[in-house]
Structure 1
Amino acid sequence: MQNSQGFHKFRVKDNNSNDNELERDLDPHGRQKRASVACNNCRIKKKRCDQNYPRCGKCIRSQSQCKYANPVPHAGNDPVRRALEARVRWLEQIVQQVTGFDLAQVATDTRVSGRWEDQRGGSLDQGWWSPSPYAIGHPEGFFLDAPRSRTGSPEETEGLSDVNEVFSKNIDCRTHWARRPFQSCDPVLLSSFQDAKACTDEYFDSLGYQYPFLDRAEFAKSLQGLYDGQADDDFHYFYHITVAISMLISSNDEAASERFYHASRTSLPRVLRQENLTALRALLSLVLFSLFSTSGPSVWHTLGACMRLVTSMGLQKAQQPAETEAQMKRHEWEKRCFWSVYALDRLISITFGRPLGLADEDITVDLPGEYDDQWVEAPRACSMSIPLHVIKLRRIFSRIYQCFYRKPQPDRDGAGGDRDGRLNQIILSFRKELDTWRIDAPVLPWAVHYSTSYFDYLYYTTLILMYRPSSFNPSPDATCVVGCGDASIQVIRAFYESYLADRIKWIPLTLCQIYASGLTLLWCVEQVVKACVSGRPSPWKVQMATLQYGIDAASTLMKEFENRRKGVERLATKFQEQVTLVMEKANMVPAFSETDDPNTTLGFDDPYEGILDDFQFNPLMQWFDDELGGVYGL
């Protein structure tokens, strides 16, 4: 648009002037007509002033104080300026809501790369905001500043940064402050505080020893506030899901548990609105519920969300030493949450034969400390001693799984006798490591079951994983047969004793472990039959009564699963067919069929017999053999 003087006009909508369209003159080249007022410094020096407000360009370069004798003409009444200022304020508010930064307090020429402190006392790594040269065609690199690790220390880089490394170090450790809407609801409560306290204590006295990601003291304090009407809104979810889990593992009241689980679903979005420890604890609680319930979400999918959040927060990475007590406590809770995710990932992934969520070589954070409730170090004498010892076994468990069950590699396996010799050395090394772990286990008077029988259960399941046929050891020798057979009977016995005491949980994890132990026991019997038929000594020394007990107990448990859970019929039928086939072969062998004494033993001595003879438990502790299967509420 061109007026009679040859100048062009443009139109701007002003939100503060009822959307009136305003016109402003431009010269024929599209430049704004120059104002007639310069700043004081430029007017005194008779220099051309660009009239930038509040500081012009020359004053910025000379680091001089820029002042105007009078405001820029019509600055207060110019609708265009008012519209632009209003939009700037609006954009600053959006940035503050999303990131937590108040840009109104930051100078315009401040660099956007680096680590800024926000108003909440936290910090946000801003390096990932800088664009990639592939996106904008900029040839000078990815970031204005060097990328920063989780601890905030700059790293030296030469030339073009690796995009995967840069984004891994910056995006994976970001913190979100976006506020998301959520639906408030009235909590579903037990009748009294005493009932709620007793119910949640069942959780902390069982699963709390295995996965210590919840603060028991803080939970009890919030529980009292809930019944006093003063609890934090986020606590509603943890109350509901913890009560739901406790009802499943203690009273097996699935109907009441479902009611509290559905109540927790209404408050779940509230605790997941941030990427922080609260969200991670919420997901971990949901994993535990899904582990015991048939109505929750997929435990595999939920655990995957936990692992994603862990890597996004960078909890698997090493931390700088804490400088204050508050930082030390924060670091310890981060470690407890991470290693709880790790233990669950190894248990579920290996039991179901699925890939691990995070490789051991990618983990650099150290193990949590043994602190009591007053944050005083108490090695082998506090509630953290149990989960810490379990984590140590899970790391051995993970190494065995990766060594024996990944695809064979030529540089590792070798050929002929060298391979067999190395295989025997690896098995012996792992066995000594496992025996040392079991001997060094702490025995705690207030948690006898979880510091004795629970450790036995983990020990035997790990032996089965190591000794049974695998891709690395497809043809186990006599030593492996002995280890598999003895460990399988112990695991089956644990589950069967729990079944007789009506404490077993009919969940997929239990089914997998019973089925695997039963098949392993049948495989050991088949190896004995093959040795007897070929005229070789029997590789396994076992009492006939013990062997028959293990097979009958596994068959009974599989039959019960078939009656209680849909979809198990085919698996139970297949197992029973294997039992019939193997026992028919066994009855054809004189060593089995002609034995009248049920206590008759077959085979030669266990090469590891006596390895635990020097291990003496505390005489004040009662050894609960019938509770071996109590782990995970079995």
Structure 2
Amino acid sequence: MTGHAATRGVISPPNPSMGSGSVPKKYVTRACDACKKRKSKCDGLEPCARCTKSRIECAYRTLYNRGSWRHLRRKLPVQPSSTAATTADLTLPAEGNLTLSHPAEPTVEGVEESTENENAVISAGDASVHNFLHKVSEHLTLIGQALPRTLLRWEEEILNTVGDRSTFVFPPRDTAREYLNCYFEHANVTYRYLLRTETFAILDRVYDDDEAVFEHPATIAILLFAMGVGCIWLASRHSRPLTKQKLKSNHLLQAGQTWLDKTLGKFPPTLDMIKATVLKCQLECAASRHNSAWMTLGMAVRLGQIIGIEREVASTGPSEQFSRKGVFWAMYMLDRYLSVSLGRPMALRDEDITIACPTDLDPETITLLGPQETKVWLGVVAHARLTRIIGYTITRLYPASKHLSDDARDQAVTELERDLQEWENQTPSFFLPPEQEPLAGSQHDFYAIPWIFQRQQKTITAAYHFTCILMYRGDLLREFLHHEPGTPAPSQPSSARIRHCVNHAMAIARIAANIADDSTYNGVYWTTSHFVFCAISVLLVYLALYHAAEDRGAIEEMVEKAMKGHRKLDSSYNFRTQRLLEAGPPLPP
């Protein structure tokens, strides 16, 4: 019996009742691909008897997820020292340097899961990092290595229902104003669809016991959800305990839902109903309730489509026009981010959209917004246009209906590069990432920039690097999957696009390294958490493929620093996938 067969066939202990010449029964824990497809009996050898007799290829390439893990780990022959490193596994400890070890043997016994169930959430058209890593994991399984079983799944945090929603009491007025200030100045820097003066006026009417304002449930829901978003983000702004602020924001979420429920059945839906629903989605994202947020956003999109919110309407006043444009593009950005992070279809189609996202506002809108909010709108436009490219990337590079050839993928990336270049030409230089790190201090050392613009700059810069990773990641994956185990590993990337992907991943890793020492970052930065996780994943795969990369030492050092920053985002949905990064894919020295 060969080494491969030993991992698939298990000989049972001799039965005392059997004669001495009896052959012990053999239990086969895995069939070859051909026998599995035909549903034929297989002896577990390589090649098996049936394939040998039929003169067909006998292979065990299909990802196997059934039976005891002790018998699934494939034992490879010992490699010479020059290639033995391909079977090593990278372990990234919480502290200290990168260390190499052989894959630990799982201890889970009697796992029973079908391949169909395991792959149910991994499908064509999935642009998420989980699908990217699933493909990496499949390849590693074929060469006798594996990523942790918990890698490809994550659970969202479920906020427990606290108290009776009907007994909600508004917080003190000063606290409520603090929440709204945080909402406008810190939490919501590129999702702008509420007017500050109108929102604070509603707040004053509520606290002055103006009975008329309570006749509009959607208006009260908007106020409560906006306060909830500001409440949970206040932990970041003032370095407060996130758990405490999350609990308070949950009370506001429940109260807001109570008022929003009172609008059910109203047809056609009002713009305030849509704004309240989008605010609820934002609050759920900040609270790491991403499945709930995805469903809430779907409701907001459907309500908006009833009134044609995706279409340009010229007959509205400046206030309604600003709200329509702002809430639509907020929905659009949330739709793209939730789609790419969850690996699910987008709800809004670009071909249905006619509403503009202009940088030049009309004089009436400028008067309505004021000078600072008018400048803030430039960042909104830059971010919205960038997320359009993210949507194009999902559609062109990760189609569900067909498999892209290498030539078609290369052509699609070229088109996306032109789109990104056009975005750079139309975007103020303030929002563009610098070509290189400043040698002597930051521009902020020489003149004061309002915090809201600093937040916009950081948000858009990180989104830019993530967009580039999404565009170029396929080239790295293609080269990784095409590398045959046991053959000499390439020393450098064969494509300039792989180098671009790594450079942008390093840029996000630097952002994460700075997060480690920044007390204002925590789990509410859910998109940042996703960006960082994607970047670290790309860097680990790059190191696993290119053994002799010239920048290996610098990348390893940056990965360690980035992981420390990522741990600060432990309230995000990537908390459980942090285990993957700490276990890491196989990585040669």
TM-score (norm 1): 0.53
Determine helix, strand or coil for the equivalent of 1:468. helix
Gaps of 5+ in 1: 1-182, 533-537, 588-634
Determine if the alignment matches structure 1 residue 387 to structure 2 residue 380: yes
Q: Per-residue CA shift, 1:166-189, capped at 9, x if unaligned?
A: xxxxxxxxxxxxxxxxx9967622
User: What is the correspondence of 1:136-151 to structure 2 with a 5 Å cutoff?
Assistant: none
Asked whether the equivalents of residues 405 and 470 of structure 1 are also in contact (C-alpha less than 8 Å), the reply is: no
- Distance, in Å, in 2 between the alignment partners of 1:297 and 1:465 is 22
Determine if the alignment matches structure 1 residue 359 to structure 2 residue 349: yes
Q: Which of residues 498, 502, 507 is equivalent to 1:481? A: 498
Determine if the alignment matches structure 1 residue 528 to structure 2 residue 546: yes
The aligned counterpart of 1:178 is none
Q: Tell me how many residue pairs correspond in the alignment.
A: 380
Q: Per-residue CA shift, 1:391-427, capped at 9, x if unaligned?
A: 11111221122121115859x8585xxx587356335
The aligned counterpart of 1:210 is 190
The aligned counterpart of 1:103 is none
Distance 1:236 1:401, change over 3 A: same
User: What is the correspondence of 1:310-349 to structure 2 with a 5 Å cutoff?
Assistant: 310-319=304-313, 321-322=314-315, 327-349=317-339
Distance 1:295 1:522, change over 3 A: closer
Determine if the alignment matches structure 1 residue 544 to structure 2 residue 538: no
Determine helix, strand or coil for the equivalent of 1:250. helix
Distance 1:297 1:267, change over 3 A: farther
- Distance, in Å, in 2 between the alignment partners of 1:228 and 1:345 is 37
- Distance, in Å, in 2 between the alignment partners of 1:268 and 1:225 is 19
Distance 1:220 1:272, change over 3 A: farther
The aligned counterpart of 1:456 is 461
Asked whether the equivalents of residues 241 and 260 of structure 1 are also in contact (C-alpha less than 8 Å), the reply is: yes
- Distance, in Å, in 2 between the alignment partners of 1:427 and 1:334 is 28
The aligned counterpart of 1:553 is 561
Asked whether the equivalents of residues 274 and 303 of structure 2 are also in contact (C-alpha less than 8 Å), the reply is: yes
Superposition deviation, residue 489 in structure 1:
2.0
The aligned counterpart of 1:78 is none
User: What is the correspondence of 1:244-263 to structure 2 with a 5 Å cutoff?
Assistant: 244-251=228-235, 252=242, 253-263=245-255
Asked whether the equivalents of residues 187 and 233 of structure 2 are also in contact (C-alpha less than 8 Å), the reply is: no
Determine if the alignment matches structure 1 residue 201 to structure 2 residue 209: no
Asked whether the equivalents of residues 203 and 246 of structure 1 are also in contact (C-alpha less than 8 Å), the reply is: yes
- Distance, in Å, in 2 between the alignment partners of 1:460 and 1:437 is 17
The aligned counterpart of 2:397 is 404
Q: Per-residue CA shift, 1:582-624, capped at 9, x if unaligned?
A: 1xx1x2xxxxxxxxxxxxxxxxxxxxxxxxxxxxxxxxxxxxx
- Distance, in Å, in 2 between the alignment partners of 1:295 and 1:334 is 26
Amino acid of the residue matched to residue 361 of structure 2? E
The aligned counterpart of 1:618 is none
- Distance, in Å, in 1 between the alignment partners of 2:476 and 2:509 is 25
Asked whether the equivalents of residues 367 and 388 of structure 1 are also in contact (C-alpha less than 8 Å), the reply is: yes
Q: Per-residue CA shift, 1:59-86, capped at 9, x if unaligned?
A: xxxxxxxxxxxxxxxxxxxxxxxxxxxx
The aligned counterpart of 1:370 is 361
Superposition deviation, residue 568 in structure 1:
5.0
- Distance, in Å, in 2 between the alignment partners of 1:458 and 1:363 is 22
Asked whether the equivalents of residues 481 and 527 of structure 1 are also in contact (C-alpha less than 8 Å), the reply is: no
Asked whether the equivalents of residues 382 and 427 of structure 2 are also in contact (C-alpha less than 8 Å), the reply is: no
Amino acid of the residue matched to residue 285 of structure 1? L
Q: Which of residues 203, 207, 210 is equivalent to 1:227? A: 207
Superposition deviation, residue 374 in structure 1:
2.2
Q: Which of residues 558, 563, 578 is equivalent to 1:572? A: 578
Q: Which of residues 236, 251, 254 is equivalent to 2:220? A: 236
- Distance, in Å, in 1 between the alignment partners of 2:495 and 2:406 is 22
Q: Which of residues 505, 517, 524 is equivalent to 2:522? A: 505
Superposition deviation, residue 317 in structure 1:
2.3
Determine helix, strand or coil for the equivalent of 2:322. helix
- Distance, in Å, in 2 between the alignment partners of 1:552 and 1:357 is 37
Asked whether the equivalents of residues 463 and 484 of structure 1 are also in contact (C-alpha less than 8 Å), the reply is: yes
Q: Which structure carries more relative contact order (alpha carbon 8 Å, separation 6+)? A: 2
- Distance, in Å, in 2 between the alignment partners of 1:511 and 1:376 is 32
Asked whether the equivalents of residues 200 and 246 of structure 1 are also in contact (C-alpha less than 8 Å), the reply is: yes
User: What is the correspondence of 1:55-454 to structure 2 with a 5 Å cutoff?
Assistant: 188-192=169-173, 194-230=174-210, 232-233=213-214, 234=217, 235-251=219-235, 252=242, 253-274=245-266, 275-294=269-288, 298-319=292-313, 321-322=314-315, 327-367=317-357, 370=361, 374-375=367-368, 381-407=374-400, 422=411, 425-426=414-415, 428-436=417-425, 440-441=429-430, 445-446=449-450, 447-454=452-459
- Distance, in Å, in 2 between the alignment partners of 1:408 and 1:479 is 28
Asked whether the equivalents of residues 210 and 390 of structure 1 are also in contact (C-alpha less than 8 Å), the reply is: yes
Determine helix, strand or coil for the equivalent of 1:246. helix
Amino acid of the residue matched to residue 579 of structure 2? T
Percent identical? 17
- Distance, in Å, in 2 between the alignment partners of 1:442 and 1:561 is 24
Superposition deviation, residue 269 in structure 1:
1.5
Superposition deviation, residue 198 in structure 1:
2.4
Amino acid of the residue matched to residue 263 of structure 1? A
CA-based RMSD of the aligned residues comes to 3.6
- Distance, in Å, in 2 between the alignment partners of 1:370 and 1:378 is 12
- Distance, in Å, in 2 between the alignment partners of 1:184 and 1:555 is 39
Distance 1:497 1:272, change over 3 A: farther
Distance 1:461 1:236, change over 3 A: same
Determine helix, strand or coil for the equivalent of 2:521. coil
Superposition deviation, residue 208 in structure 1:
3.3
Asked whether the equivalents of residues 202 and 250 of structure 1 are also in contact (C-alpha less than 8 Å), the reply is: yes
Amino acid of the residue matched to residue 248 of structure 1? I
The aligned counterpart of 2:535 is 517
- Distance, in Å, in 2 between the alignment partners of 1:381 and 1:420 is 39
TM-score (norm 2): 0.57
Q: Which 4+ runs in 1 deviate beyond 6 A?
A: 376-380, 470-476, 564-567
Q: Per-residue CA shift, 1:334-361, capped at 9, x if unaligned?
A: 2222111111101111122211112111
- Distance, in Å, in 1 between the alignment partners of 2:462 and 2:198 is 31
- Distance, in Å, in 2 between the alignment partners of 1:445 and 1:561 is 26
Asked whether the equivalents of residues 514 and 554 of structure 1 are also in contact (C-alpha less than 8 Å), the reply is: yes
Distance 1:408 1:203, change over 3 A: same
- Distance, in Å, in 1 between the alignment partners of 2:553 and 2:574 is 33
Superposition deviation, residue 441 in structure 1:
4.9
Superposition deviation, residue 215 in structure 1:
2.0
Determine helix, strand or coil for the equivalent of 2:188. helix
- Distance, in Å, in 1 between the alignment partners of 2:460 and 2:193 is 20
Q: Which moved more, 1:353-362 or 1:426-435?
A: 426-435
Gaps of 5+ in 2: 1-163, 236-241, 433-447, 481-492
Asked whether the equivalents of residues 404 and 472 of structure 1 are also in contact (C-alpha less than 8 Å), the reply is: no
Distance 1:427 1:208, change over 3 A: closer
Asked whether the equivalents of residues 464 and 484 of structure 1 are also in contact (C-alpha less than 8 Å), the reply is: yes
Q: Which of residues 459, 469, 472 is equivalent to 1:467? A: 472
Asked whether the equivalents of residues 489 and 550 of structure 1 are also in contact (C-alpha less than 8 Å), the reply is: yes
Asked whether the equivalents of residues 396 and 412 of structure 2 are also in contact (C-alpha less than 8 Å), the reply is: no
- Distance, in Å, in 2 between the alignment partners of 1:278 and 1:205 is 21
- Distance, in Å, in 2 between the alignment partners of 1:318 and 1:349 is 25
The aligned counterpart of 1:172 is none
- Distance, in Å, in 2 between the alignment partners of 1:424 and 1:312 is 35
Q: Which moved more, 1:377-386 or 1:305-314?
A: 377-386
- Distance, in Å, in 2 between the alignment partners of 1:473 and 1:439 is 35
Distance 1:474 1:334, change over 3 A: farther
